[in-house]
């Protein structure tokens, strides 16, 4: 049984869809910096539980 699941989010720099592995036990409410898989720009990612499922908030590192 896998403890993580794959989700997707849009890069705020180049608008490309990126994949991310989410560990529901440890990643919810946590902020992390990941690089875009296409343009390599740093993206600030926050995983939140909005009551209807997971929400991935992706922001530019300079916001």
pTM: 0.82
Helices (H), 1-63: none
Beta strand residue intervals within the chain, DSSP E: 4-10, 17-23, 31-35, 42-49, 54-60
pLDDT at position 33 over 90: yes
Across residues 18-22, what is the average pLDDT?
A: 94
Q: How confident is the model at residue 41 (pLDDT cuts 50, 70, 90)?
A: very high
DSSP-derived letter for residue 28 is: B
Across residues 34-57, what is the average pLDDT?
A: 93
Q: How confident is the model at residue 2 (pLDDT cuts 50, 70, 90)?
A: low
Question: What are 20's two structure tokens?
Answer: 């991310």
């Amino acid at each position: 049984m896998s403890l993580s699941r794959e989700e997707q989010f849009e890069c705020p720099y180049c608008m490309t869809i990126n994949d991310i592995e989410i560990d529901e036990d440890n990643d919810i409410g946590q902020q992390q910096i990941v690089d875009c898989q296409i343009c390599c720009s740093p993206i600030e990612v926050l995983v939140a539980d909005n009551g209807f499922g997971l929400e991935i908030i992706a922001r530019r590192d300079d916001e």
